[in-house]
């Protein structure tokens, strides 16, 4: 999917919500566990109930890998289902990969070609040659970790390297890489006050912003400092939506939670 198509969808749906599909078998309604593929059954119900209110889905790969071969099969079924039934929706493989170039090429093939995700999250730590193999794919996006939502972000990312914080170096240096137009960045909603500085370095890039809801980030702050004329934001919520209820109408309740966020986003979009 191109960035222009993503922006068009955001305006059409009046939403820049990304629903995180972090499926934990210990948290899904227990009656689903007797189904042939509980992970896919859960995802299908959530997707059917939330698709009207969101523009992206983000399965976090850890939750699938943790279930071995069955998990990988459920992941493949999930991404295929989204692309077939709701082709307007942007898909994010939250895999946080990155290795020497030769190895990154394999990660890129797995997620961007074979599984066909529109994008993948990538760690910048190993530098240019570890990220460029992901950037080669046309109309696919590499979402580079810039300033993450967790406490540990202060261990390295905000520390100065020479005259600048490491996350600023990541932003600046990554702009010089080949096919850098395919880059988006992760900035945690819990770090909204950093967004004004971040926008000075990357005024137009799309940001994936996790951390609203369960981690306490505020949508208003993210929009105030991070929104661009083309929106430039995908705001993710996982647990607060998908585990809003454990009853048999869990999907309906997840849909209602997603709609609440969509309505807030529609208000924010009016400011543009």
Ligand X SMILES: O=C(O)c1cc(=O)[nH]c(=O)n1[C@@H]1O[C@H](COP(=O)(O)O)[C@@H](O)[C@H]1O
Distance in Å, CB of 244 to ligand X, minimum: 11
Q: Reduced to 3 DSSP states, what percent helix, strand and coil does the chain have, rounded to the nearest 5?
A: 50, 20, 30
Is residue 224 flagged as an active site residue? no
In the complex with ligand X, the residue whose CB is nearer, 186 or 244, is: 186
Catalytic residue among 96, 109, 128, 224: 96
Q: Which of 11, 240 has the CB closer to ligand X?
A: 240
Residue 131 pairs in a beta bridge with none
Q: Which is nearer to ligand X, 144 or 251 (CB)?
A: 144
Q: How far is the CB of 68 from ligand X (least distance, A)?
A: 19
Nearest 5°: CA angle at 79, between 81 and 106? 150
Minimal distance in Å, beta carbon 94 to ligand X? 5
Number of C-beta neighbours around residue 260 at 10 A: 12
Interface positions with ligand X (CB under 6 A): 20, 22, 60, 94, 121, 148-150, 186, 188, 210-211, 213-215, 236-239
Token duo for residue 24: 């934990």
Closest separation between CB of residue 34 and ligand X, Å?
A: 26
Least distance CB 101 / ligand X (angstroms): 22
Nearest residue to 98 via CA among 170, 22, 161: 170
Q: Which is nearer to ligand X, 11 or 25 (CB)?
A: 25
Q: Which residues contact 262 (CB under 8 A, 6 or more apart)?
A: 13, 14, 15, 17, 53, 54
Phi, then psi, of 166 in degrees rounded to 5: -55, -40
* CB-CB contact of 57 with 92 (8 Å): yes
200, exposed or middle or buried, with CB in 10 Å at 0-12, 13-18, 19+? exposed
Nearer to ligand X, 108 or 186 (CB): 186
Q: How far is the CB of 233 from ligand X (least distance, A)?
A: 13
Q: Beta-carbon neighbour count of residue 48 at 10 Å? A: 14
Nearest CB to ligand X, comparing residues 104 and 149:
149
What is the distance between the alpha carbons of residues 91 and 56, in angstroms, rounded to a whole number?
Answer: 6
98, 104, 232 from 132: Cα distances, Å: 10, 9, 22
- Chain position carrying tokens 């995700």: 117
- Which residues are marked as active site? 96
């Amino acid at each position: 999917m191109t960035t222009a198509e993503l922006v068009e969808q955001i305006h059409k749906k009046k939403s820049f919500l990304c629903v995180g599909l972090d499926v934990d078998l210990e948290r899904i309604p227990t009656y689903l566990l007797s189904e042939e593929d509980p992970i896919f059954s859960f995802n299908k119900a959530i997707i059917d109930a939330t698709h009207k209110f969101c523009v992206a889905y983000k399965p976090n790969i850890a939750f699938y890998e943790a279930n071995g071969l069955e998990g990988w099969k459920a992941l493949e079924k999930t991404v295929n289902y989204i692309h077939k039934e709701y082709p307007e929706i942007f898909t994010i493989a939250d895999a946080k990969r990155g290795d020497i170039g030769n190895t990154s090429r394999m990660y890129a093939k797995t997620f961007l070609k074979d599984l066909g995700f529109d994008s993948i999250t990538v760690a910048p730590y190993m530098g240019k040659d570890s990220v460029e193999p992901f950037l080669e794919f046309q109309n696919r996006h590499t979402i580079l970790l810039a300033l993450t939502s967790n406490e540990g972000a202060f261990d390295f990312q905000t520390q100065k390297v020479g005259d600048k914080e490491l996350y600023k170096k990541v932003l600046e240096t990554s702009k010089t890489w080949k096919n850098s137009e395919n880059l988006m960045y992760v900035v945690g909603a819990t770090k909204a006050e950093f967004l004004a500085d971040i926008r000075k370095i990357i005024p137009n890039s799309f940001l994936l912003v996790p951390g609203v809801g369960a981690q306490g980030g505020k949508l208003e702050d993210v929009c105030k400092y991070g929104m661009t004329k083309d929106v430039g934001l995908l705001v993710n919520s996982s647990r607060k939506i998908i585990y809003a209820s454990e009853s048999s109408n869990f999907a309906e309740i997840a849909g209602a939670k997603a709609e609440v966020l969509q309505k807030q986003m529609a208000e924010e979009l009016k400011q543009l």
